[in-house]
Structure 1
Amino acid sequence: MAVRAVRGATQLDEDTREHMLDRVAEMVTDVMESNGLSVDDFISILFTATSDIVSEFPAYAARQLGFTDVPLMCARELEIAGAMPRVVRMMAHVETDLPRAEVTHVFLHGAAGLRRDLARTHTDE
């Protein structure tokens, strides 16, 4: 079994607690489903959020999904001129038998435009 990093990102329409928790839960769940992972496969998750998100800690959404024994951390994204607003990103370290090239990184909603070269994307269509 190998340790792999899997990435995800989502963009919020608005910075409200319920909306942020829903979008982050959707991102985490999609990462899990896309890679055949369970909570027990996760070693740790780092969440980042742009400075315009202040309604709740993104890690709280993962806790609500059952990530009670997984180390979670939240941090601020760099404030770069012209960067996409209201974005939550995650980088999870997981144990999996997937080869690195088969790990699916998930970018949802407006964040799908961040790394079209890297990920299978999902959008509001």
Structure 2
Amino acid sequence: MEQNSSEDIYAATEELVAEMIQRNEIDPETVSNIWITVTHDLDAAFPAVAVRRQPGWDFVPLMCAMEIPVEGSLPRCIRLMIQVNTEKGQREIQHVYQRGATVLRPDLARQKQL
């Protein structure tokens, strides 16, 4: 993410959520809640607003929180956890790591390329 602006936060969140939904074939009706965390340097907007703007996500509970600001952690990083009622096993779920966040789990980030 380039800057700590509401536009950049919304765009990055929308991109991340869209990729998670597409890769895992998620229907909002199967989602119990979404947790969204941001690093301490992203405070211009609530990323949950970007999820609310998507059709069908009106009634899904959303929670925004700050990551623990550990020295050396990634700057300007948005992470999310979607809790879904699914029949998929742990190894079938496609995790999404974009841009600089691929360093968090390079093994899972590579799945997208396979």
Same fold per TM (> 0.5)? Answer: yes
Asked if 1:62 is matched to 2:57, the reply is no
8 Å CA contact retained: 1:112, 1:121: no
Counterpart Cα distance in 2 of 1:61 and 1:105: 20
Counterpart Cα distance in 2 of 1:88 and 1:53: 8
Give me the TM-score of the superposition, normalised by structure 1: 0.83
Alignment counterpart, residue 80 of structure 2, candidates 75, 79, 90: 90
Give me the TM-score of the superposition, normalised by structure 2: 0.90
Alignment counterpart, residue 114 of structure 1, candidates 97, 104, 111: 104
Structure 2 gaps of 5+ residues are none
* Larger helix percent: 2
Give the corresponding residue for 2:24.
Answer: 35
Pairwise mapping of residues 7-26 of structure 1 onto structure 2 (< 5 A)? 12-26=1-15
3-state DSSP class of the match of 1:48?
strand
Counterpart Cα distance in 2 of 1:121 and 1:91: 18
Q: Give aligned pairs, total.
A: 111
Identity of aligned residues (%): 33
Q: Root-mean-square deviation (CA), in Å?
A: 1.4
Q: Which has the higher contact order (CA 8 A, sep 6+)?
A: 1
